[in-house]
Amino acid sequence: MFRQGRLLFSMIVKPNFKNSTNFRSSTAKQLDGLEIKIPVPWGHIAGKWWGPTNIRPILAIHGWQDNCGTFNTLLPLITQDVGFLAIDLPGHGYSSHIPDGFYYHITNYVILVQRLVDYFKWPQVSLLGHSLGAWTAFLYTIINPQNVDLLICLDGLKPFTDDEILSTNSKRISKFLEYEKLKKENTEPRAYTMEEIKQKICGSFGGSVAYKHSNHLVERNVAPSKCQPGKYYFTRDPRLKATELINWRQKDLVPGARGVRCPVFLGKAIDDHYYSKDEKYIQEVVDALKLSGNCELHTLEGTHHFHLNNPEVLAGLIKKFLEQHDRSDRRVGGIKKEIIHTL
């Protein structure tokens, strides 16, 4: 049954989370997650494994130009019975950049999900995504509905629809080539003070990230400048700024959503960055997902990064969702010793 709720925060108690990348042994209640590196043809995918490591985890995928640190405050609240593998997408965080000459396209992220499924030999995959990560999770689900046992999308669902697709793609390709040229010409990107770095992160998406939580995204996002001591530069691939090429059509996404049969959890921010931009087309997809009978939508107080800034109520809702719907066998697909990494 489709449920829509509007949840308001009153008194929010901030959990006492540490912010360290030091290696920690695997336990069910890790505060900092276990650092991992997974081999891929162009290098490696980095990330953090939260919670139990002897069973198949839920794969968590972050948003555009973020990294897996975006889940640092949420995942420790919901790892009692199930683990989470939060990855840095290619070009983000500690993961390898894609080779020169190639575009960062969401299709490559969807393919990456299948690479991870194959690498761990997961019989099925559970997906949690924020923003671009939610797009990725949704697209993988409609392409391989039989492979997905549950889907959690946070302030994101389908790629945006653009009526000016040809001119938009033309502009983005030109922009990509400009950033590619700049990357080749510059030995080191522009450097900033740490305060400037935090302000830039907090200013993205209309001021979505709370300043007190900006350190979770900074940690995997910058490196000390060799040219300007005391300053830092962003290590994410500048080619990411070109943003996504538009090629997913609404007439394909809606029928795809009708074919989803796994339980679906949708979280929408009241201070909306995503849904209001494409409201009509997103609602068509939501209505299609309702046909599964196991789709619920929750409207939550906060900004686009509500999962980072205000994780407590969201964590409770996700835990309840998992208690109701996480029925798959997770005995196959735990962590592999060779991916455990010491920073």
Query: Which sequence positions are flagged as catalytic?
Result: 131
Can you tell me whether residue 125 is helix, strand or coil?
strand
Residue 31 token pair: 């505060």
Residue 235 token pair: 């290590």
Q: Given the structure tokens 């490696």, which residue do they identify?
A: 44
What b/e string do you get for 78-95 counting C-beta neighbours within 10 Å, with b at 16 or more? Answer: bbeebbbbbbbbbbbbbb
Give the sign of the dihedral formed by CA 287, CA 288, CA 290, CA 295: negative
Residues whose CB is less than 8 angstroms from the CB of residue 288 and which lie 6 or more positions away in sequence, other chains included: 254, 255, 257, 258
CA 237/CA 97 separation, integer angstroms: 6
Segment (H or E) for 170: helix 165-185
Cβ atoms 151, 265 nearer than 8 A: yes
State the first-to-last Cα distance of the chain, in angstroms, to the nearest integer. Answer: 45
Q: What angle do CA 135, 137, 141 make, to 5 degrees?
A: 115
